[in-house]
Structure 1
Amino acid sequence: MTSPSQEEDDVEEWRVLYQETFGYRRPLFHPEHAVFQFQPDPKFPGHQRNNNRERREENDVDEEEDVEEWNPWKESYEQLSRGVHVMNSFEQFVGAADIQCFDHIDEALKFLDENPEGHHEKLIFLHEGTHNVNHTIRIASDVQIIGASSSEDIAASVILTGRHATILEIQEGARSPYLGWITVKYEVDTEHEAEMALIMEVDAPPPPEPNSSGAVADNDDDDDLEKVNEIESDQTTNCAMVVTGRGVEPIIESCHFQSGNADHHTVVVKDHAAPKIKNSKFIGGSGGGIIITHQAAGYYDTCEFAQNLRSGIRVQFQANPYFYKCAVHHQGEVGVFILDDGLGHFQNCDIFSNAKFGVELTSPNANPTITECEIHHGELGGICVHEEATGQFLKNRVHNNAFLAVWICGGANPILRQNEIFDGKHGGILVHRYGKGLIEDNEIYGNVLAGIFVETGAQPWIRNNHIHSGKQAGVYFYDNGSGILEGNEINGNTLTGVQIRTGANPRILKNRIWNNDNGVLIHEGGQGCLEENTVFDNTTTNVFIQTEATPTVRKNKIFGSRETGILITDGGKGTIEDNEIFDNGQAGVMILSEATPIIQLNRVHGNRSAGIEVSSKGECVVRENRVFRNRFGGIMIASGSNVADSSLNQVYDNLDRVSKAIDRGHCLFSVSGKEFYPMHNFYRCITCNSSDRNGICQSCIKVCHKGHTVMFLRCDRFYCDCGADHLERSCCLRQS
């Protein structure tokens, strides 16, 4: 058996030979085509002996048998030794004599193509340094090209660059080539660009002349190609790399791609190609990062797309790529741009700090799936879906965007499901300009303005979301917005849970709306149908209708507000029917200021003021309601109010605390305090010089102001200013 010292010497010799030949600091295993795996740096001799012991135990080999010790440096060298090498200077190479070397990658490719059955594997080691190319390197076979360097960042130290044409094109015939640990960089040929600009300026054909009708003929033959002096300019060329062709599925890992071309993308994948790209970077492009087009696909794993002046990722023309755990950030425009029938699947990606949107979908049939991604800190917003695009957005976190988290407009019809949408610096979701969409099972909270806006003809279906803790409204319908709001939990918003105005006409169905300032506010001509909702425990009013609003409020449970159950005022209208209205802090239903609703078929009970109050010239229909067990009374109608059909109600078992206090000669302040405005006859005392704004109850007129000149004003809501000691004389009844 080999002695420990001999073993260590042998290991060291193989390590030196391996590192001088390939440059790598660690053993690189190559067990099969297009598979390269760096191993941990071996710690000898202990690491090796432990490894050997494990191998013996696994294979049931006697310790004393003369078994050759496993040597990862030797193993790696032997697995890689059939490759050829490309380097700028042969002086840097100290490998074995039988290693084949070239000074240009074209020569290595030609050698391998001409020796398909030879000793060498189709494997090229591109050594450290900058390798300039003067024309496109076309890969049409399953060659493997890998950077070789002793640097910690191998790709940054092995650079393939050029300025006259696309650097690298992987095309049909290359079913599964490999590219790894290399920087591919396209640099703009400034002299060539200047020449082309001069040609276009000097030799450009004259503008077309108008025909007899005055119109200019359109002679464009191809939208994708532009001819200048008979030279076709393809908008998907002059880049770092092109992958093209049906069945072309290269494996690309740990590469960097850069381009100085402001008009094109750094990498182009097109025409059914489907690369597998992993741990690669597309950073600092003067144009876009990557474009995937014309039914191309591919798998993109843990890649970074950053600081490109246009979009980071562009998908179009039925392309359908899969992106997993990619970072897309700090683009000059959009992070991910899907258009023209583009598809795609994006999962667990981090999309952030892009100058416009994190994700933008535009045009009919743009239909990607975005799932489990972080989409945040966009300067215009997180997601924009418009021009009839669709798409699925599932289980994402969309947050801290400078404006809106999600825009849906122009007939777009996406699905937003199980997302967390929060901390937007403006609002959560805006659906406008005839946008649609299913917004379902999301949690929407903490946005500076509304959680969801719906306006200008939009018709979304908003279902089963939790919309809470917004700085203003939960859901805000306006300017003829409509749609369905169903089964949502809407609570804890600083202003209203749901607000409807200016012609908006949504259907509000089976929601729980609670613990907002106002539960539902309908005003300024707003409409809508509120049906089978539970509206409760809101700070001011559960349902507030005003200024020509005309909603239908039907079959709801409305209870527990700190003030009024339903307040209709300032010309508010609408139909309030078949609701259960109970346990509100003041009146169950209050009608003020020329409001003209229809109140019918409701059960109104247990409210801390009256059941139904009509005040201040209210003119309405109140019929077939059951009004019972309310504290101050059942139906109370102020002077000057016109209430139709009031006799058709069932009013019973109310506590009638106001009438009972007067009957017992008590000041009404004893039952109201300053919190309530009970309805009864109130007066003015001329002798005490009280004003029309100082209400004095009937009991105080009889006792405290006995013998004074008094004036009956009207029956209306007030609390007694005499009992509150707001007059010069103290209230006798309150003192007693």
Structure 2
Amino acid sequence: MGRSRIKRLNGGDVVEVEGFVICVRWDELGGLDGRLSSLPIPFLDSACLWRILNSPVDRRLPSIKPVVDEEDSAESIALAESQLLQTSAHSVVLSTSGRQTQLSADMADEQLNSAPFLEQSSSSHCQDIFQADQMDKRLAVRRRHSLQHQSEDASCRSSLAATADEASEPPSKFMKPDSPGEADQQSAALDFSARVLQALGAGGVADDCPISRIPDELLILIFSYLVEGDLAQCSSVSRCFHRISNDIGLWRQLYISVFEYTTPLYHSSSSSSPCKFELREPHRWRNCANAWKESFVHLRHAVHVRPGMNALYNQPGRRISHFDGIESALKFVEARPQMAKLILLHAGRHTPEPIIISSAVQIIGASSGSDLDVMRAVSIENQKDTAVSFVDGSLGSYLGYCSVVFNPDKVSPQPHINHYALQITDETDVVIDHVIVHSSSFVGAALCVKKQAANPRLRHCIVSDCENVGIFVSDNAHGRFEDCEIARNNLAGVWVKNQASPIFRRCHIHHGRDVGIFTFENGMGYFEKCNIHSNRISGIEVKLHANPTVVRCDIHNGQTGGIYVHEKGRGQFMENRIYSNEFAGIWITSQSEPTIRKNEIFNGQQGGVYIFGEGRGLIEQNNIYGNALAGIQIRTSSDPIVRLNKIHDGLHGGIYVHEKGKGLIEENEIYGNTLAGIWVTTGSSPILRKNRIHSGKQVGVYFYDNGHGLLEENDIFNHLYSGVQIRTGSNPKITRNKIWGGQNGGVLVYNSGNGVLEDNEIFDNAMAGVWIKTDSNPTLRRNKIYDGRDGGVCIFNRGRGLLEDNDIYRNAQAGVLISTESSPILRRNRIFEGRAAGIEITNGATATLEYNWLYMNRYGGLCLATDVRPSLRDNRIFDNHNAVERAIAKGYCLFKISSCTSFPMHDFYRCVTCNTTDRNAICISCIRICHRGHQVEFVRHDRFFCDCGAGTLEQQNCCLQTEIRDNDTIYDSAQPTESETGSNNPPVGPPAAAGGGGNLAPLN
């Protein structure tokens, strides 16, 4: 197999090949004239044809070379060789009917740019597999001199195929015979031409077309030895060649050998994104059957930097620029401004002199593997100066898929404070994409962006393990940093200063040995959807008038805190998740004034937001929960605005204001906290307005140790302890609040507490609406205290206070109970519809009662115990039910009307015969009936319930009761539980219940 010869047939030169590489039977073309040039077959140039003929098909078929029969003359040999082999590598001349058609080798470039080259044929052209011994075909490039030259219109009817009308027309339409003897030859040739046109142009393949019989495997093997230009030309020979030359595997092999990428590189041709490169899997290429070929077209004009590979890029037929160094490649593209400035930097460690780019150059790494593999495989390094700099004029530049490293000598005396791995300055909008930036210098930064017009775009970059700052943006510079990883740097991951305003989106900033992001000295910036965590100091630090905007970021697991704003720092922090930090989620101090809005701040190992040292700011619409200490802490003259937040389920308190803290705290919802909802202490004076403070496990609002402030228009309800507690010199103003549902009362003032309570509604509390005890002296004015399950106001243990113009009604016990040496002033109050007495004074207490109205109370208007002598002036006592006197008059035991839940005031006795103690009391009705004839003695006129009626006497059963009552029922007027919030400990247990019968007075 594998024999070829050169002959003269019909006055033309013919190359005859016997073997697998066959195109047509030129024997049938004997009389073909100018019609040849109108066939829709762009011919290969001689260099491409010779490479096909010399492709090593297999071991049985050596390289084909022309052989000559013995009868061939020297002239025919020379003519054939000159026609086939000695033709210029750039063109081949076909002579038909006296005119020449020149096909340039530049056709390959034209075909690379043309649409037909990018299209894939859907028709199959190989229908039969044939054996080599059945083949007898011939390949030739024929010259004819006897045909007349015809006009262009007459000789070239179509560039694709004959239409149905044209095929049916007689041959005379296409040519005119020069002699009668040539007509038969032309007729036979036209019959063959019609079959070729039908096969190539009409979409079908003639059964006897020799091209269709060549095995695909053979063509693919032959084409695998061709370069891209040859494949482009072969694509235009026939449909069969078009299909084979566009084989995906063929182009993949060629692509990897030239570019090294194992995933085709997508390069956008859009004018809106000229610098978009992406390693894109073939199935992700839209409307593209062969992604490898498409990528080759995109990158065909690139200049390659690949040391030692000159032979690969200088193969015959290949037109690819290649250099061994970056400097040479840059000089090459700079000298040709008309060509695309794309440099492919192949795998390896490149150590050129400092690269300064001042024009629109695109440099991209080329290697095998994934994105990260390519980035690591291609490295640009420098040890003395900035590795790569983009300066004025580099608009539209690109650097991608490589590493840029500044690695100075550790013992070098040369300072490197102004040396970086990558520097972007002046007016430039360079794109840095998929680049690893690293610096081992102990000063400076790995990446520097500075000066006003600098506006680079960094995407998918890694700035990590640097011995200094990761990214430094300064001097009014801008820039967009998207999907970057900034990690494990010795100093801050990002520095922003001097009016710089970069944009960071979706960046991962973590495990820094300093702060994650540091904005200072009027630095700004926009940070969105970044993940900032595990930094040794805070995730973000803002100081010295810096004003960044941080939106929808996750800031967590900081080893010091989440966000630290100090020294007059500002900033907008919105819709972030700030959680699991070892200290406060947000620190604000030293006259800083940030805006904290719509964040989630939770699960901190200390507090949520900590404001101290004259800090200010707006804390608005945040969800703060689950923190180990207070949700918000305000101290040392700080004065923030805390508005519309949810502060709940903390392991400590909700808001803690201390050490002269201030602040406007309004319209927040504070609930479910372990300690007080709000603490105010140590000289602090916040404004608490329109908050909902509820469902706490201790107190709602707690003023202690000289805590002051304004508590206005709040809803305070459903706390395990009282709604408000005031103690130890505290003196708040509490006005227009609703305080209800406290399990230990509404308001508790004790231990020398003060305060002004005005215009409040205090209702439905389990114990007294207001407690005043232990030397406390509050003012209650114009309050409504009603529907309590104990008394309205209870004043014990030297309690004082001024009660003016209050409405106290429908309480289960006395409207006002005054006991144990207390001495309040009651003036112009309306005390009515109580289910016990209006006012009761007992146990050595006294009071000043002026202009009060006491009416419609069950036990009476004013009840005074033995030896009580209050100051009374112009009080009106009327329309009370006097149920105690009525029961006695009817002979009822007073336990019948009181049960164990109240203490009617009347004369009580003890029975000596029944050996009752001083702690037992027997009503006058039981003395008369049950203890008739016994030795009895008067105790006093005071508040008791009857132990005889209660069945608690050991030797006597009450004759007036039809059933024994349960004397363990909890009764009201029990002692309130004082908050333990001040000791920072959670409550030990629920409020203590008072029990036992016949107590002479409530527990003290």
Provide the TM-score with structure 2 as the length reference: 0.62
User: Partner of 2:718 in structure 1?
Assistant: 515
How do 1:272-351 residues align onto structure 2 when only pairs under 5 Å count? 272-351=476-555
Matched, 1:36 2:269: no
User: Which SS does the other structure have where 2:605 is aligned?
Assistant: coil
Cα distance, 1:533 vs structure 2 = 0.6
Write the distance in 1 (CA, Å) between the matches of 2:502 and 2:682: 44
Question: How many residue pairs end up in the alignment?
Answer: 670
User: Which SS does the other structure have where 1:77 is aligned?
Assistant: helix
The answer on whether the counterparts of 1:447 and 1:470 sit within 8 Å (CA) in structure 2 is yes
Write the distance in 1 (CA, Å) between the matches of 2:738 and 2:846: 30
Matched, 1:241 2:459: no
User: Partner of 2:954 in structure 1?
Assistant: 728
Cα distance, 1:521 vs structure 2 = 1.0
The answer on whether the counterparts of 2:279 and 2:371 sit within 8 Å (CA) in structure 1 is no
Q: Deviations over 1:482-523 (max 9, x none)?
A: 111111111111001111111111100111111112111111
Q: Deviations over 1:153-206 (max 9, x none)?
A: 43455455556565555555545544444444555754348x999xxxxxxxxx
Write the distance in 2 (CA, Å) between the matches of 1:95 and 1:25: 24
Cα distance, 1:95 vs structure 2 = 9.9
The answer on whether the counterparts of 2:914 and 2:956 sit within 8 Å (CA) in structure 1 is no
Amino acid at match of 2:268: H
Q: Give ranges in structure 2 of 5+ residues lacking alignment.
A: 1-119, 125-241, 417-440, 860-882, 964-1004
Cα distance, 1:348 vs structure 2 = 1.1
Counterparts in 2 of 1:176 and 1:681: CA distance versus 1, 3 Å = farther
Counterparts in 2 of 1:278 and 1:728: CA distance versus 1, 3 Å = same
Q: Deviations over 1:601-646 (max 9, x none)?
A: 01111111121111122110011111111101211211421110x2
Q: By percentage of residues, which structure has more strand? A: 1
User: Which SS does the other structure have where 2:495 is aligned?
Assistant: strand
User: Which SS does the other structure have where 1:76 is aligned?
Assistant: helix
User: Partner of 1:76 in structure 2?
Assistant: 295
**Greater than 2 Å deviation, 4+ residue runs:** 1-9, 13-20, 29-35, 37-43, 69-112, 123-133, 135-193, 235-239, 655-727, 733-736
The answer on whether the counterparts of 1:29 and 1:75 sit within 8 Å (CA) in structure 2 is no
Q: 2:466 aligns with which of 249, 260, 264?
A: 260
User: Partner of 1:151 in structure 2?
Assistant: 369
User: Which SS does the other structure have where 2:896 is aligned?
Assistant: helix
The answer on whether the counterparts of 1:140 and 1:170 sit within 8 Å (CA) in structure 2 is yes
The answer on whether the counterparts of 1:174 and 1:249 sit within 8 Å (CA) in structure 2 is no
Matched, 1:462 2:686: no
Aligned Cα root-mean-square deviation (Å): 3.1
Write the distance in 2 (CA, Å) between the matches of 1:160 and 1:702: 112
The answer on whether the counterparts of 1:167 and 1:241 sit within 8 Å (CA) in structure 2 is no
Cα distance, 1:337 vs structure 2 = 0.8
Counterparts in 2 of 1:83 and 1:445: CA distance versus 1, 3 Å = farther
How do 1:127-138 residues align onto structure 2 when only pairs under 5 Å count? 127-131=346-350, 137-138=355-356
Counterparts in 2 of 1:152 and 1:498: CA distance versus 1, 3 Å = same
Larger radius of gyration: 2
Cα distance, 1:677 vs structure 2 = 4.6
Q: Deviations over 1:443-490 (max 9, x none)?
A: 111100111101111111111111111111111111111111111111
User: Partner of 1:426 in structure 2?
Assistant: 629
Cα distance, 1:653 vs structure 2 = 1.4
User: Partner of 1:202 in structure 2?
Assistant: none
The answer on whether the counterparts of 1:34 and 1:177 sit within 8 Å (CA) in structure 2 is no
User: Which SS does the other structure have where 1:630 is aligned?
Assistant: coil
User: Partner of 2:799 in structure 1?
Assistant: 595
User: Which SS does the other structure have where 1:404 is aligned?
Assistant: coil
Cα distance, 1:655 vs structure 2 = 2.4
Counterparts in 2 of 1:635 and 1:190: CA distance versus 1, 3 Å = same
User: Which SS does the other structure have where 2:785 is aligned?
Assistant: strand
User: Partner of 1:450 in structure 2?
Assistant: 653
Cα distance, 1:75 vs structure 2 = 3.6
Write the distance in 2 (CA, Å) between the matches of 1:588 and 1:22: 88
Matched, 1:191 2:411: yes
Amino acid at match of 2:724: V
User: Which SS does the other structure have where 1:480 is aligned?
Assistant: coil
The answer on whether the counterparts of 1:172 and 1:246 sit within 8 Å (CA) in structure 2 is no
Amino acid at match of 1:78: V
How do 1:42-121 residues align onto structure 2 when only pairs under 5 Å count? 42-43=282-283, 71-86=290-305, 90=309, 98-101=319-322, 105=326, 108-109=329-330, 111-112=332-333, 114-115=334-335, 117-121=337-341
Amino acid at match of 2:795: I
Q: 1:500 aligns with which of 703, 717, 722?
A: 703
Amino acid at match of 1:456: E
Counterparts in 2 of 1:620 and 1:145: CA distance versus 1, 3 Å = farther
Cα distance, 1:332 vs structure 2 = 1.0
Q: 1:583 aligns with which of 764, 787, 793?
A: 787
Amino acid at match of 2:951: D
User: Partner of 2:174 in structure 1?
Assistant: none
User: Partner of 1:638 in structure 2?
Assistant: 842
Counterparts in 2 of 1:86 and 1:271: CA distance versus 1, 3 Å = farther
The answer on whether the counterparts of 1:171 and 1:244 sit within 8 Å (CA) in structure 2 is no
Matched, 1:10 2:251: no
Write the distance in 1 (CA, Å) between the matches of 2:325 and 2:302: 15
Amino acid at match of 1:729: Q
The answer on whether the counterparts of 1:88 and 1:103 sit within 8 Å (CA) in structure 2 is yes
Q: Deviations over 1:587-609 (max 9, x none)?
A: 11111111101111011111111
Write the distance in 2 (CA, Å) between the matches of 1:92 and 1:404: 68
The answer on whether the counterparts of 1:271 and 1:294 sit within 8 Å (CA) in structure 2 is yes
User: Which SS does the other structure have where 1:335 is aligned?
Assistant: strand
Write the distance in 2 (CA, Å) between the matches of 1:379 and 1:141: 48
Provide the TM-score with structure 1 as the length reference: 0.84
User: Which SS does the other structure have where 1:670 is aligned?
Assistant: helix
The answer on whether the counterparts of 2:310 and 2:322 sit within 8 Å (CA) in structure 1 is no
Write the distance in 2 (CA, Å) between the matches of 1:677 and 1:139: 95
User: Which SS does the other structure have where 1:525 is aligned?
Assistant: coil
Write the distance in 2 (CA, Å) between the matches of 1:91 and 1:681: 122
Amino acid at match of 1:35: C
Counterparts in 2 of 1:663 and 1:162: CA distance versus 1, 3 Å = farther
Counterparts in 2 of 1:270 and 1:480: CA distance versus 1, 3 Å = same
Write the distance in 2 (CA, Å) between the matches of 1:92 and 1:613: 108
The 10-residue stretch of structure 1 (239-248 or 14-23) with the greater mean CA deviation from structure 2: 14-23
Q: Deviations over 1:80-103 (max 9, x none)?
A: 344444457749987995444555
Q: Give ranges in structure 1 of 5+ residues lacking alignment.
A: 53-68, 198-234
The answer on whether the counterparts of 1:521 and 1:543 sit within 8 Å (CA) in structure 2 is yes
Cα distance, 1:313 vs structure 2 = 0.7
Percent of counterpart pairs with the same letter? 29
Cα distance, 1:730 vs structure 2 = 3.9
The 10-residue stretch of structure 1 (465-474 or 33-42) with the greater mean CA deviation from structure 2: 33-42
Write the distance in 1 (CA, Å) between the matches of 2:311 and 2:814: 97
Cα distance, 1:78 vs structure 2 = 3.1
Q: Deviations over 1:53-107 (max 9, x none)?
A: xxxxxxxxxxxxxxxx765444433333444444577499879954445555555
Matched, 1:25 2:263: yes
Counterparts in 2 of 1:423 and 1:479: CA distance versus 1, 3 Å = same
User: Partner of 1:525 in structure 2?
Assistant: 729
Write the distance in 1 (CA, Å) between the matches of 2:641 and 2:954: 64
